[in-house]
């Protein structure tokens, strides 16, 4: 009987340690969670198809999806900790005064310890005191991490969506790189495009850093940014590629090259992070020719020999990443050709 109690105690301690490792690996350590449970990842795998089926719209997942995944994850972590400390408490039932009569009572003692409310009507002695004290510290730690993590998420999502809204002002919804170029040309603000590309490159770097560090951010969306961030990334990539391969605008080429490199890195990294396959997204040559015509009509100087084939080949790569992300999140892609050219006012 003593050996069974020892095994029960070790099982509870192992469960508590593995759960804490999963919490720290998800909330504190940057990058994909590598814990045994990977609660958030498994919740996403189970719930994402259901939420997408219920949504049945092209404006992406509900804004409640990602927060609900985090709430469920913290509930599961707390439940696992209660179970782990409950097993340890039950193994030490005789170390309480009066002794714990049943496993449910042991769970109650462990839960009150985790919640630091002290509702138990029994006193711990010996090793049991340290178990109850450890449960209290773990409960405080998990609740503190939950609040801190949610505040961090709110700040990161707000920063990401602020960049989206700035672009949507001139890019339409869903956003289009061609629409941005046409809008700036119509307003006589082509000289401001390098600054826009610089800001867009910073946006890509910031989003990559935050989302690669905490992958759950990928699933957060703002109700005010209905098109979703993958479409914004696609529009930025379209704008930069059109500038590099099709236009003869020396002032724009350098910023466009840097934006394209940073955007491609962001797309590849996030697709790999959530283990998506690259979707096929070929760019028809006829659409590329229409793009050239629209750029010329907007007043841009075209290259003497626009590299149509190079543009289509390069765009197929990044458009495949964007399509994979958009389909995964149930949001829209960035169209290459918007429906109509913008008016100057």
Contacts 24+ apart (CB under 8 A), 189-194: 190/249, 190/252, 190/299, 190/300, 191/251, 193/252, 193/255, 194/251, 194/252, 194/254, 194/255
pLDDT of 212 reads 86
- Say if residues 276 and 324 touch (Cβ distance below 8 Å): yes
Question: What's the whole-model pTM score?
Answer: 0.80
Return the axis-axis angle of helices 127-171 and 177-186, rounded to nearest 10°. 50
Q: What is the C-alpha to C-alpha distance for residues 263 and 261, in angstroms, rounded to an integer?
A: 6
Please report, in tens digits, the pLDDT of each residue of the chain (345 residues total).
588 889 999 999 999 999 998 888 888 877 666 667 788 888 888 888 777 776 655 456 677 788 888 888 899 999 999 999 999 999 999 888 888 899 999 999 999 888 877 766 778 888 999 998 999 999 999 988 888 888 888 888 888 888 787 776 777 777 889 999 998 999 999 999 999 999 999 999 999 988 888 888 888 876 555 567 888 899 999 999 999 999 999 999 999 999 999 999 999 999 888 888 888 888 888 999 999 999 999 999 999 888 899 999 999 888 888 889 888 887 878 888 886 555 545
Domain ranges of the chain: 2-146, 172-329
């Amino acid at each position: 009987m003593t050996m069974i109690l020892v095994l029960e105690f070790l099982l509870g301690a192992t469960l508590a340690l593995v759960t804490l490792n999963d919490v720290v690996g998800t909330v504190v350590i940057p990058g994909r969670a590598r814990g045994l449970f990977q609660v958030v990842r498994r919740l996403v795998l189970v719930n994402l198809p259901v939420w997408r089926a219920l949504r049945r719209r092209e404006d992406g997942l509900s804004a409640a999806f990602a927060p609900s995944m985090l709430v469920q994850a913290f509930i599961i972590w707390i439940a696992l900790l209660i179970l782990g400390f409950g097993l340890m408490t039950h193994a030490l039932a005789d170390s309480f005064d009066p002794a714990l009569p049943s496993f449910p009572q042991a769970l109650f003692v462990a839960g009150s310890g985790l919640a630091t409310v002290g509702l138990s009507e029994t006193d711990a002695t010996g090793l049991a005191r340290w178990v109850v004290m450890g449960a209290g510290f773990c409960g405080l730690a998990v609740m503190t991490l939950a609040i801190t993590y949610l505040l961090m998420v709110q700040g990161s999502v707000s920063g990401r969506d602020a960049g989206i809204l700035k672009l949507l002002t001139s890019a339409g919804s869903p956003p289009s790189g061609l629409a941005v170029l046409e809008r700036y040309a119509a307003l006589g603000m082509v000289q401001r495009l390098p600054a826009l590309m610089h800001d867009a490159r910073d946006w890509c770097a910031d989003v990559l850093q935050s989302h690669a560090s905490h992958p759950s951010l990928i699933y957060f969306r703002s109700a005010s940014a209905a098109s979703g961030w993958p479409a914004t990334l696609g529009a930025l990539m379209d704008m930069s590629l059109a500038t590099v391969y099709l236009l003869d605008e020396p002032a724009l080429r350098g910023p466009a090259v840097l934006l394209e490199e940073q955007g491609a890195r962001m797309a590849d990294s996030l697709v790999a992070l959530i283990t998506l396959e690259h979707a096929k997204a070929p760019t028809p040559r006829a659409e590329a020719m229409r793009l050239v015509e629209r750029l010329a009509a907007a007043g841009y100087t075209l290259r003497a020999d626009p590299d149509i084939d190079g543009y289509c080949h390069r765009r197929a790569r990044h458009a495949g990443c964007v399509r994979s992300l958009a389909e995964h999140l149930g949001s829209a892609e960035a169209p290459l050709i918007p429906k109509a050219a913008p008016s100057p006012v």
